[in-house]
């Protein structure tokens, strides 16, 4: 959910191909490592959305007692696929766009321009990553179904192949529209607010505290970005989850005709707060993931610089 700070200085890399690839490689690597830590929280978030709310600690205790610790890593292979597609694409695209648009004098981009870059990068990444999103939701929610209705996915490949067999190729892309909208909302808020907050903190820290100011900026901006991204994106994430996990009844009828119907039906039956079911857990996943992603990215950048990459 994060990116690297825009820089206007020429890169020290010897290869322009490596220069262009670095934002994507660093973003994908950081997201992959962060998933190992945050997947249990993502499982709780999905289960809470399926249930329509509840207590994350209580649900965690139930899962641990009834299903074991392994259940917290349901959908892990799909999460990795998502990191290698959606996360890599959006993080790399955002930094590429902001670097291209940066002025020659090093002045920060305006907030609206950063937001536009986040919006574009989020949509681009979401289109590529939709199949992984479908697999994640189905693998994590499968155990909530009655035993006779469970699909018992073994891994992400099995989930995608079985979905394609049952519902056709379009089934793998089910929920693409709400996935794209959710990603655009999240990245517009999270990525732009990250860069903007980090720049503000570093300005307040002053030039005499460049290193300390940057570390403080990373932590402060990560927290802010997590909160903004959560509030912006959770309603879209809720609709996306409902669309991607829905199953036809005995007569072949689906519970919702599409994302808009899902949103209207949910609003009419449950009110606007239903869209924020699982907000604390969702925020607990977003903010730490952003922080982890940034720390890993900064570590990768230092490692690359130390080795002349």
Q: Evaluate whether 97 touches 117 at the Cβ level (below 8 Å).
A: yes
Mean pLDDT of 286-303: 80
pLDDT band at 207 (very low <50, low <70, confident <90, very high): low
Are the C-beta atoms of 234 and 279 separated by less than 8 Å? yes
In a domain, 41, yes or no: yes
Classify residue 70 by its DSSP letter. Answer: G
Per the structure, how many domains does the chain have?
1
For residue 5, tell me if it sits in a domain. no
Write down the residue that tokens 């290698």 correspond to.
Answer: 84
* Within a domain: 11: no
Let me know: does 190 contact 155? Beta carbons within 8 Å.
no
Across 116-124, average pLDDT: 94
Tens digits of residue pLDDT in 260-270: 899 999 999 99
Here the CATH number for the domain that contains residue 132 is 1.50.40.10
Whether residue 1 has pLDDT greater than 50: no
Among 214, 221, 271, 262, smallest CA distance to 242 is for: 262
Closest CA to 184 of 92, 88, 117: 117
For residue 209, what pLDDT band results from cuts at 50, 70 and 90?
Answer: low
Query: Does the predicted model carry a pTM greater than 0.85?
Result: no
Whether residue 10 is contained in a domain is answered as: no
> Position of tokens 């009110």?
271
229 in a domain, yes or no? yes
- Taking a C-beta distance cutoff of 8 angstroms, is the pair 81, 157 a contact? no
pLDDT tens digit sequence for 42-56: 888 778 877 777 788
What residues make up the domain containing 68? Answer: 16-306
Mean pLDDT for 271-285 is 84
pLDDT at 12: 46
Encode burial over 242-255: b for 16+ CB neighbours within 10 A, e otherwise: bbbbeeeeeeeeee
- Radius of gyration of the CA atoms of the chain, in A: 20
- Mean of per-residue pLDDT scores for the chain: 84
Minimal CA–CA distance to 88: which of 132, 29, 39?
29
In this prediction, residue 7 carries a pLDDT of 44
Give domain status of residue 288, yes or no.
yes
* Tokens found for residue 13: 């890399």
């Amino acid at each position: 959910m994060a990116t690297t700070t825009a820089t206007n200085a020429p890169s020290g890399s010897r290869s322009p191909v490596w220069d262009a690839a670095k934002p994507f490689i660093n973003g994908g690597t950081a997201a992959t490592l962060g998933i190992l830590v945050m997947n249990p929280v993502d499982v709780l978030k999905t289960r809470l959305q399926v249930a329509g709310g509840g207590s994350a600690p209580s649900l965690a205790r139930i899962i641990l007692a009834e299903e074991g610790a392994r259940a917290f890593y349901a959908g892990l292979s799909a999460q990795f696929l998502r990191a290698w597609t959606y996360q890599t694409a959006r993080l790399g695209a955002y930094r590429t766009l902001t670097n291209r648009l940066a002025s020659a004098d090093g002045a920060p981009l305006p907030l609206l321009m950063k937001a536009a870059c986040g919006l574009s990068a989020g949509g681009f990444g979401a289109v590529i990553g939709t199949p992984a999103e479908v697999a994640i939701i189905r693998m994590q929610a499968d155990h909530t179904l009655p035993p006779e209705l469970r699909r018992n996915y073994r891994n992400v490949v099995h989930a995608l192949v079985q979905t394609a067999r049952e519902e056709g190729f379009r089934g793998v892309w089910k929920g693409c529209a709400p996935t794209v909208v959710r990603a655009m909302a999240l990245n517009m808020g999270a990525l732009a607010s990250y860069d903007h907050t980090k720049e503000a903190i570093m300005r307040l820290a002053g030039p005499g505290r460049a290193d300390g100011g940057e570390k403080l900026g990373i932590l402060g901006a990560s927290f802010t970005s997590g909160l903004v991204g959560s509030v912006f994106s959770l309603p879209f994430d809720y609709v996306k989850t409902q669309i991607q996990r829905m199953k036809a009844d005995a007569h072949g009828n689906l519970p919702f005709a599409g994302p808009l119907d899902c949103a209207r039906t949910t609003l009419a039956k449950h009110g606007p707060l239903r869209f924020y079911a699982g907000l604390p857990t969702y925020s607990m996943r977003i903010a730490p993931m952003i922080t982890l992603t940034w720390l890993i990215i900064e570590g990768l950048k230092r490692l690359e610089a130390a080795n002349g990459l």
